[in-house]
Amino acid sequence: MLFFCPSCGNLLIIEEDTNSHHLSCHTCPYVSKIRGKISTKTFPRLKEVDHVLGGKAAWENVDSTDAECPACSHNRAYFMQIQTRSADEPMTTFYKCCNHQCGHNWRD
C-alpha cells in the first residue's frame, strides 16, 4: 500500500527512529507516526521488457554471411542491420550464429 502526503501529494517514505517508525515527506515537513506493526513488504510487479531486436520473429527472414562466431568459432552467421544511432552515423550490424546449438548473438 502506498501512502501520499496530504499536504503536497508526494510519496511518503518510511523512516526508522531508535524505537519507532514514521512516514515522512521529503518535500515538506509532514511526519506521521506508524501505529501497529509492520509485518510485510510488497514490491510492485516489474513491467515486462520487450526484446530490443524484435525477438525470434526478427531473425526469421534474414540473410547469412561468412562471419566467425566468437563463442563456438562456427564460420557462418545470420545478420541484420539496424539504424541505432543518428542518421549521420553508420548502421549497427547484429549477428546470430547459424549453429543452432550455439545461437550466440553479437554486434559489430
Residue ranges for the known binding site are: 5, 8, 25, 28, 69, 72, 97, 102
Q: Extract the annotated binding site for Zn(2+).
A: 5, 8, 25, 28, 69, 72, 97, 102
3-state secondary structure the chain: CCCECCCCCCECEEEECCCCEEEECCCCCCEEECCCCCCCCCCCCCCCCCCCCCHHHHHCCCEEEECCCCCCCCCEEEEEEECCCCCCCCCEEEEEECCCCCCCEEEC
